[in-house]
Amino acid sequence: MLELAYTTEALPLQASTTSYAGAERSTTWDQSMIFGCVCDSSWPVGLASGQRQEPEWFGPDCSMRHCPSGNDPDTAADETNCQGVRPAGSPDAGAAGNLCQVDCSNRGICNHEIGECDCFTGYHGENCNQRSALAK
Per-residue model confidence as pLDDT tens digits over 72-103:
999 999 999 999 999 988 889 999 999 999 99
Beta carbons within 8 Å of 117's beta carbon, 6+ residues apart: 67, 68, 103, 104, 108, 109, 110, 111, 126, 127, 128
If you compute the radius of gyration of the chain from its CA atoms, what whole number of angstroms results?
Answer: 18
Peptide bond into 91 cis (omega under 30): no
> Which pLDDT value is given to residue 88?
85
> Hey, how many other C-beta atoms are within 10 angstroms of the C-beta on 64?
16
Could you give the percent of the chain with pLDDT greater than 90? 62
Between CA 105 and CA 39 the distance in angstroms is 22
Between CA 117 and CA 110 the distance in angstroms is 5
Q: What is the pTM of this model?
A: 0.76
